[in-house]
Chain A
Amino acid sequence: MTAIVSAENLTVAYDDFLALDAVSIDVAPGESFGLVGESGSGKSTLLRAVAGLSPVASGRIMLDGKPLDAKYRDKAFYRQVQMVFQDPYGSLHPRQTVDRLLQEPLAVHGIADAEKRILRALDEVGLGSSFRFRYSHQLSGGQRQRIAIARALIIEPQIMLLDEPTSALDASVQAEVLNLLEQVRRDRKLTYIMVSHDLGVVTHMCERLAVMKGGKVVERLSSADLVAGRLKEDYTRNLMVASKGFVRAASMA
């Protein structure tokens, strides 16, 4: 396999705290790769490192077989790689209209047809044109999340870094957004790296996944293996058990 994105022994440090500790992953072109694991284990840090937003201490990130700079990313990079952040409140400017938010990436990359693309993007994420002139602070959590997804899709990147893209959505809208993401991946041969704490979502969307804990990848497996319970690590097993829901007696620790 020639990977389209890979991380080799990637280490990210904040002072003497290692948010990522020699992490390696390989993602094939057209693949959808999942990241699951404990809160604080470094999932967002890994995506952010690919996007040039984490302080890489050592190791490297390869894109199309070429090593990327530790920090600097040019415009062409963001044409090819888009990220949907975990926290749509932070990533969308609250005083901008939806129209401006969708206009901006088109303008930056000199893409024509803005009008048509904006209307289509809104429609794709299940928000009609009536949302076009709302300010982002006038949207609910899930509506904001969908604008963030529309904003990434609108410039038709090759690779999407998706950090909990549907965790703010109710199941009905989640199903629509997941179907959309699958469809555009198929139609445009996109590659996804997707973080989700919902094992149902990850196994639905991804062929392979990595389980993270404490800044390290503790297990790599296929979704089929996970579903069938063919796993090696206790931590992965705990995740499986916990995903079955809340059991009152068990909580009274």
Chain B
Amino acid sequence: MSTMLTVDDLRVSFPTRTGVIEAVRGVSFTLGRERLGIVGESGSGKSQTGRAIMGLTPAHAKISAKTLNFDGIDLLTAPPKVRRNLRGSRVAMILQDPKYSLNPVMSIGRQIVETLRTHENVSKREARDRAIAMLEAVQIRDAGRVFDLHPHEVSGGMGQRAMIAMMLIAGPELLVADEPTSALDVTVQLEVLGILDKLVAERGMGLIFISHDLRLVSSFCDRVIVMYAGKIVEELAASDLGNAKHPYTQGLLNCMPMLGTDRHPLPVLDRQPEWAL
């Protein structure tokens, strides 16, 4: 399988008034045309890893890596214009905070249409039809109505799917999806995963799937990286999650409330300081 993305020793830190916050501390992995899951504890650096790949790290942060390479392009030294062009067409990220990332003063439909028209030469009419088709593909009922709504007028799950539609309409080769289905009810969640799955299987898209839902990741992804305190603590074949070695990963599997089990209070992790070394 050909490698499209190489990340070697990625580090992201934020200088603040009260000291430096090291968000990502030496993360390394490669990605081919596959589904790579990233799970990990809240604040462990998952989103910042994705943002660094996309070139969306906040300007005041410090970022370094031995290698950060997408299809032969050195992302760390590429000029901003090259990175912007990449972002518009070949690489895309579904951000964790969809409503916050959508333009609040533009209708959902227009945002999708504009994304499509910046990288493909299509008529207004065709762009509109394709945008509506994309909204329908992500299971939005009443896509015609939602097309004209503004981000504050849609539900949490609708905003999330609007963001997914907007990112997919450009047909990216690499997609970073940051908690793309966390606001969706389970039936819709499966439909959306089905779409992503097809893009990987049929179009050879590379997918980084960031999620806190271990059960979902293990049923959907090929490989899973587990992060804790800015580092990768474990990498597993998704089917092998049951044999996880790291106590954080093992603990995760045990503390989910499950249908039909009655555990009050839920077991919690006994976090050890050495996990964060």
B213: chain A residues at CB < 8 Å are 171
Check if A167 sits within 8 Å of B183, measured CB to CB: yes
**Is B266 an interface residue when CB atoms closer than 8 A count as contact?**
yes
Partner of A176, one of B43, B194, B252, B268: B268
Kindly provide the distance from the CB of B99 to the nearest chain A CB, expressed in whole angstroms: 5
Answer whether residue B88 sits at the interface, using C-beta atoms and an 8 A cutoff. Answer: no
Stretch in contact with the other chain, from B66-74, B151-159, B163-171: B151-159
The interface residues of chain A lying within 8 Å CB-to-CB of B9 are none
Knowing A203-B257, A204-B266, A246-B220 are in contact, say whether A251-B194 is a contact too (CB < 8 A): yes
Q: Most B CB atoms within 10 A — which of A164, A175, A240?
A: A175
B-to-A contact residues, CB < 8 Å: 14, 16-18, 21, 39-43, 47, 96-97, 99-100, 140-141, 145, 153-159, 161, 179, 182-191, 193-194, 197-198, 212-216, 218-220, 248, 251-253, 255-260, 263-269
Query: Are A200 and B258 in contact (CB-based, < 8 A)?
Result: yes
Name the CB-closest residue of A to B265: A179
A142 to chain B: closest residue by CB: B42
**A87: nearest residue on chain B (CB-CB)?**
B99
A87 with B16: in contact, given A140-B47, A172-B252 (CB under 8 Å)?
Answer: no
- Chain A CB count within 10 A is highest, among B40, B42, B194, B268, for B42
Chain A residues contacting B190 (CB-CB under 8 Å) are: 242, 246, 250-251
User: For A247, what are the chain B residues with a Cβ–Cβ distance below 8 Å?
Assistant: 219
Interchain nearest-CB distance for A101 vs B (Å): 16
Contacts of A22 in B (CB 8 A): none
Complex formed: what's the CA distance from A227 to B261 in Å?
Answer: 9
Closest to A145 in B: B42
A227 / chain B contacts, CB cutoff of 8 Å: 259-260
How many chain-A residues does the 8 Å CB contact rule pick out?
Answer: 63
A201 to B189, CA, bound (A): 16
Q: Does B155 lie within 8 Å of A238, measured CB to CB?
A: no
Segment of A23-31, A38-46, A115-123 in the binding face: A38-46
Determine whether the beta carbon of B43 is less than 8 Å from that of A143.
Answer: yes
CA A239 – CA B259 in complex, angstroms?
Answer: 12
Contact mask for chain A residues 185-209; partner B; CB cutoff 8 A; 1 contact, 0 none: 0000000000001111101110000
Bound complex: CA A227 to CA B216 (Å) = 20
| Contacts known (A89-B100, A172-B268); A138 close to B212, Cβ less than 8 A | no
Cβ-defined contact, A138 with B16, below 8 A: yes
Question: Which residues of A, 160-183, contact B by the 8 Å Cβ criterion?
Answer: 163-164, 167-176, 178-179, 182-183
A186 to B, closest residue via Cβ: B264
Contact between chains at A238 and B255 (CB < 8 Å): no
Question: A-side binding surface: helix, strand, loop or mixed?
Answer: helix
**Complex formed: what's the CA distance from A242 to B251 in Å?**
24
CB-defined contacts of A172 to chain B, threshold 8 Å: 41, 248, 251-252, 255, 268-269
Residues of B within 8 A of A36 (CB): 185
Question: What are 23 A-B contacts defined by CB distance under 8 Å?
Answer: A38-B187, A39-B184, A40-B141, A138-B21, A140-B42, A164-B183, A170-B212, A171-B214, A175-B255, A178-B265, A183-B265, A197-B183, A197-B186, A197-B189, A200-B257, A203-B257, A205-B257, A239-B187, A245-B219, A246-B190, A247-B219, A251-B194, A251-B197
Q: Are A141 and B179 in contact (CB under 8 A)?
A: yes
**Cβ 8 A contact of B156, one of A86, A183, A201, A248:** A86
The smallest beta-carbon distance between A212 and chain B, in angstroms, is 10
In residues 126-151 of chain A, which contact B (Cβ within 8 Å)? 130, 133-134, 138-143, 146
Residues of B within 8 A of A130 (CB): 18
A243 at the interface (CB under 8 A from B): yes
Distance of A163 Cα from B183 Cα, bound (Å): 10
- In the bound complex, residues from chain A placing their C-beta under 8 Å from that of B259 are 199-200, 203, 226-227, 240, 243
- Residue of B157, B189, B194, B264 touching A40 (CB-CB under 8 A): B157
| Cross-chain contact A242 with B156 (CB below 8 angstroms) | no
Which residues of A lie under 8 Å from residue B194 when comparing CB positions? 250-253
Residues of the B chain whose Cβ atoms lie less than 8 Å from the Cβ of A245: 215-216, 218-219
Residue of B nearest to A200 (CB): B257
Q: Cβ of A37 < 8 Å from any Cβ of B? A: yes
Q: CB-CB < 8 A to A173: which residues of B?
A: 41-42
Tell me if A90 counts as interface (CB < 8 A to partner B).
yes
Which chain A residue lies CB-closest to B193?
Answer: A246
